[in-house]
Chain A
Amino acid sequence: MAVQPQTNKNPIVRFLNMNTSGQTGGRSLPLWRQLLLQVVALAILITVMFPIMYIVTLSFSSKTTRPSQLEILPKEISFVAYQQVLDKPTGNPVTFIELLRNSFVLSMGVGAVALFIAVSAAYAFSRFKFKMREVLMVLVFIPLLMPAVGLSTPLYLLLNQVQVKQCADNTVAIQPITTCDDGKGRVQFNLRDSLFGVGIAMTASALPFAVWNLKGYLDTIPRELEEAAAIDGADANQTFWQIVIPLAMPQLAVTFFLGFIGHWQEFVLTWLFLSQPKDYTLAMTLYNMTGQYANSIPWNRFAAMAVIVALPVAVVYIALQKQIVGGLTTGSVKG
């Protein structure tokens, strides 16, 4: 057994993880190795902090010129850049609140809808034996192999065919059910070019993942409770709603927030489908602020936007860190 250093009452000592017990037995670290490791660990710390401090420093700067020399510690704390981004995030007539709303509506909406539809299918796969079970499971798995870009073409073409048009004779045509007499007409609504349409497209790839993920979790819930409920005369529906759903709630939440992290950064479909600035998301705006499109945008404003886009994901990730890592490692142990 290793000699456990006695727990010190001083919280600072405990926090810094210092061994002040003076014991030299066991595996306490010689000073020269301690110092060597500290140097290495500090060097890593600096490389990790470098881009973060760089962008945070930029975002707190009031200078609208580009940085002429390297600064990684803020010389001033100015909220000018944040204020400007919140006031007028882009050159287009779209407010920050609208961008934020679009991002939240898409990431939360897609996650919730996918989960709601997926959970009963996951239950069926996890608990019932029926004909075609394997075939149907493979069917759900196939779309998972396709990256989001791979499904974007047909979704673009199909959603683009659903349009509401104002015809020349003042009637309204709803494609593809009805068309204007002359085959033309002014487009009032194009499903492809709307948040709703993008939401449908995002759900297409979120749904198979949700089914697969939830099935994996339901498989780990012991069946004793369900069997007991069946003895008490509950039918399958009651069991599902009153036993399985409450038991699966924590995992439902984790799946939802994992989806949120992914959908918050969704760029492929939104950038392809949406053309009107009022539908833009925060991720699209951030892309507009970098590279070739951003010659006129001050870097302090870009930095403020980067921090704003990163924050919700960072908060969710830190809150769920245990579950996210735990899911991966326990999965590997179980195989």
Chain B
Amino acid sequence: MAVAKSSFKKSKQKNAVLPYLYLLPAFLIMGVITFYPLIYQVIISFTNFESKHLLLGLKSPELEFIGLKNYIDIFTAALPVENFNFFRVLTFNFWWAISNVFLHVPAGVLIAVLLNTEGLWLKRIYRAVYILPVVVPPLVVATVWTNIFDERYGAMNQLLTSLSMAFFGGTDPIYIRWFEDVRPPIPGFLPGAPLTLAYYAMMIANFWLGWPFMSVVATGALQSIPKDLYEAASIDGATGSQQFWGITVPLLRPAMIPAAVYGFTLTFNLFNFVFFMTGGGPARTTELLVTFAYNLVRNLRWYGVAAAFAVIIFFVALVVFLITNRITRATQNYQEA
């Protein structure tokens, strides 16, 4: 065996160039279509690149290097865009991701626990149906819910109307303007960023989309908890809720934290969903960093500003990654302890 190992090693040494050859295709192509654009992006973020420079690019005679002006304009809300404030968008973006995950994870766990109850009838049917929201592409979910929240023809207002007529003696149909109303229903709920009805509509739709995934992860983890633990606990006289907090929750944590982190990063950049439902409106109150960046490049065509914005997004993403990575690591230590 020792001889075999050393000969294997020797063949490795002989081929010192080999790993680089294997890397070559990927790095050649990434060099052209990933790394070069990333560098190009940083360069044009210091220029006033607009549509008129499209033809000649960096060789345009009128292209000016304007230093950090794009960055300063973004941070000081000096862009000639209505209702734009970088720090408000950033605050909303973080709140959007956090509030979603904090609803999805507990709901997913509770429903998984419910379905894990031994002897529950129709368990398989429930499990099969509850997975459906995970299966539908978010883009379709967003378009469907956009129509559900339609002011006049949408299912939500129709449902509220029939509920109000049946239980509260209402006579008029309800027309809530979910996506247009700019007045926050609970003023001052989130300091620095007003939460309009559109936010709540998106929360409802994304809750529908989000908890089943957490539930699937929790179900998998629940089934790996040994049943003996619960039996030992109940022999010792632990009640149901004591068992839940003492056994279920700590043993689910190692599986749920990475799922929550995954959900957070996904929700933080949930472009398709937000763009399809509100487009960032009304008055940019539901704008995420990614949807605003998209507005800059697709509608306003300020390529220089858009590039600067993308560089900022990169650093925000880096911070988010460092934090979430920390959290995941911390729970690993917990698991080993």
Contacts and interface: CB of A to CB of B under 8 A. Distances in A.
Nearest to A136: B23
A297 to B, nearest CB: 11
Given A16-B121, A38-B121, A143-B34, A313 B313 contact: no
Contacts of A152: 294, 297, 310
26 contacts: A17-B121, A28-B119, A29-B117, A37-B114, A41-B115, A41-B122, A48-B208, A51-B148, A52-B132, A72-B155, A121-B27, A125-B23, A140-B26, A146-B317, A147-B271, A149-B271, A153-B41, A153-B306, A154-B40, A158-B36, A204-B37, A290-B276, A291-B279, A306-B140, A317-B134, A329-B221
Interface in A278-335: 283, 286-287, 289-291, 299, 302, 306, 309-310, 313-314, 317-318, 321, 325-326, 328-329, 331-333, 335
B307 interface: yes
A236 interface: yes
B35 interface: yes
B189 interface: no
Contacts of B34: 143, 151, 204-205, 207-208
Contact of B140 (A41, A48, A309, A331): A309
B250 to A, nearest CB: 14
A19 B119 contact: yes
A207 B103 CA distance: 33
Contacts of B269: 147, 149
Closest 10 CB pairs of A and B: A121-B26, A124-B22, A154-B37, A128-B19, A66-B153, A150-B310, A70-B158, A29-B119, A154-B41, A332-B258
B132 A120 contact: no
Contacts of A87: none
Max chain A CB contacts within 10 Å: which of B8, B152, B254, B307? B8
Contacts of A123: 22
B225 interface: no
Interface residues of B, number: 106
A143 B38 contact: yes
A54 interface: yes
Max chain A CB contacts within 10 Å: which of B19, B44, B291? B19
B200 interface: no
Given A51-B155, A207-B34, 19 more contacts: A17-B122, A18-B121, A28-B118, A41-B126, A47-B208, A48-B130, A67-B153, A117-B29, A136-B23, A136-B27, A150-B290, A152-B297, A153-B306, A154-B37, A231-B4, A264-B137, A265-B139, A265-B272, A314-B136
Contacts of B4: 227, 230-231
Contacts, number: 296
Contacts of B111: 44
Contact of B153 (A41, A299, A326): A299
Interface stretch (A92-100, A166-174, A267-275): A267-275
B124 to A, nearest CB: 6
A264 B332 CA distance: 34
A290 B146 contact: yes
Q: Is the interface of A mostly helix, strand, loop or mixed?
A: helix
Contacts of B33: 155, 200-201, 203-204, 207
B83 interface: no
Given A154-B41, A235-B11, A37 B18 contact: no
A145 B29 CA distance: 19
A287 B140 CA distance: 9
Given A48-B129, A130-B16, A265-B137, A34 B120 contact: yes
Interface in B124-147: 124-126, 129-141, 143-147
Given A28-B118, A299-B153, A321 B131 contact: yes
B231 A2 contact: yes
Contacts of B275: 267
Interface string B162-181: 10000000000000000000
A48 B132 contact: yes
A145 B212 CA distance: 26
A77 interface: no
A148 B289 CA distance: 12
A289 B33 CA distance: 32
Interface in A26-62: 27-29, 34, 37-38, 40-41, 44-45, 47-52, 54-55
B314 interface: yes
Contact of B7 (A54, A231, A328): A231
Given A52-B132, A150-B313, A153-B306, A313 B122 contact: no
B246 interface: no
A253 interface: no
A158 B37 contact: yes
Contacts of B18: 128, 236
Given A29-B118, A332-B255, A157 B49 contact: yes
Interface of A: 1-2, 5, 15-19, 27-29, 34, 37-38, 40-41, 44-45, 47-52, 54-55, 66-70, 72, 117-118, 120-121, 123-125, 128, 130, 133, 136, 139-140, 142-143, 145-158, 160-161, 200-201, 203-205, 207-208, 211, 227, 230-231, 235-236, 240, 261, 264-265, 267-268, 271-272, 283, 286-287, 289-291, 299, 302, 306, 309-310, 313-314, 317-318, 321, 325-326, 328-329, 331-333, 335
A265 B162 CA distance: 35
B114 to A, nearest CB: 6
A28 B272 CA distance: 45
Interface in B11-69: 11-12, 15-16, 18-20, 22-23, 25-27, 29-30, 33-38, 40-41, 44, 49, 54, 57
Given A66-B153, A200-B33, A124 B118 contact: no
B180 to A, nearest CB: 11
B159 interface: yes
B315 to A, nearest CB: 9
Contact of A154 (B44, B123, B129, B140): B44
B77 interface: no
Given A54-B144, A265-B138, A302-B147, A48 B133 contact: yes
